[in-house]
Amino acid sequence: MLEIVVETENGERHVRVPADGLAGLVRRIGAEGDRYLVVRRIPDLPDVYAQVWHKAGGDYQLEHRDGSADRHFQAMVDDPATVIAAMTGWAAQEPGWDAGPDWTLLDMGPAPEVPPLDLDEEEHAELEACVRTELLRGYTTRARLAETAEYHLVSGDRRPVSRAQAQALADRMWRERVAEQAAWRGETDPERLTRAFAALQDSGITARENFTCCRSCGQTEIGAEGGPDARGFVYFHSQCTDSAAEGHGLMLLYGGFDGSAGTTAAIGHEVVAALQAAGLTTRWDGDPGLAITVTPLDWRRRLIG
């Protein structure tokens, strides 16, 4: 798997794709509404990406940006194989990945100045605390984080944080979190959780992380997530994520799609077994009316972007 996120013009988002999957996406583009894709490494870093635009019958406009406007390069390529080789090499950070295309510097002009935030000490601390909380959850993107920063202090007609200021704050705090997680070693508890949920999904149990805002919404919406052969479900909502990030363990909600207590209990036992197989500890007495709690839990979820 390549440690990348691929986003396409038609709204698809592909996380950690194999090299042949990236190749297929490149070869696909060209039709109306599906003419470009953007590739970002995991974790996403501001102003670091590769992208390609292509209209059927024409050349491929290949670009990559290396951290700033004065490091933005472009190449016109007439075949998808060259594009695929360059993008795959860029994704894997292979030495000499850029040797093929004929790159030219793309003049993007100077980056606009972003004025400092005009906030008092209390509001500034509140804003940073809000952004930090979202980072600690680990499920956000840089775009969503900036949106949080822009709108958190909005009150009536007062909008004290501009979009550019919000993006600058979000990017600074995102970089700080990425630098912090660089010191983490090995598989973290949230990654063990993701591994357990993937195994449950493969076994016919619809498994969703950080799903909806609350239990009421989750119970209403989880049925639409399951395929025709799904036997049951397990999920946790964003309030559960907050609790886990604060060090209180993680509550999991589960059940059978047939609504019976017997099926719910059976699903609960499968969930517990999958979590334990992934190296996590659970607390549950087998009662289908009680949630499963994953505890103790060290919530260090690596950012993707």
Strand partners, 207: 234
Same domain, 38 and 17: yes
Q: Is residue 21 part of a domain?
A: yes
Q: Which residue, 227, 237, 188, is CA-closest to 206?
A: 227
Same domain, 212 and 264: yes
Q: Which residue, 222, 205, 206, 226, is CA-closest to 214?
A: 222
Same domain, 256 and 171: no
Residue-wise pLDDT tens digits, 53-76: 999 999 999 999 999 989 999 999
Token pair belonging to 237: 């909502």
- Answer with the one of 160, 181, 202 that is the final residue of a domain: 181
Residue-wise pLDDT tens digits, 144-203: 999 999 999 999 999 999 999 999 999 999 999 999 999 999 999 999 999 999 999 999
User: Which pLDDT score is estimated for 181?
Assistant: 97
User: Which pLDDT score is estimated for 107?
Assistant: 87
pTM of the predicted protein model: 0.92
Same domain, 197 and 226: yes
Q: Is residue 232 part of a domain?
A: yes
Q: Is residue 74 part of a domain?
A: yes
Residue-wise pLDDT tens digits, 78-136: 999 999 999 999 999 999 999 999 999 998 888 889 999 999 999 999 999 999 999 99
Q: Is residue 202 part of a domain?
A: yes
Q: Are strands 104-105 and 2-8 parallel, antiparallel or unpaired?
A: unpaired
Same domain, 95 and 145: no
Structurally, how many domains does the chain consist of?
3
- Answer with the one of 181, 200, 215 that is the final residue of a domain: 181
Answer yes or no: is pLDDT of 6 > 90. yes
Sheet with 48-54, edge to edge strand ranges: 13-17, 2-8, 36-41, 48-54, 60-66, 72-77, 104-105
Answer yes or no: is pLDDT of 50 > 90. yes
Contact criterion met (CB below 8 Å) for 6 and 90? no
User: Which pLDDT score is estimated for 119?
Assistant: 97
Domain hosting residue 68, numbered range = 2-105
Answer yes or no: is pLDDT of 39 > 90. yes
Cis ω before 43 (30° cut-off from 0) = yes
Same domain, 101 and 160: no
User: Which pLDDT score is estimated for 92?
Assistant: 97
Same domain, 227 and 260: yes
Q: Is residue 299 part of a domain?
A: no
Same domain, 23 and 87: yes
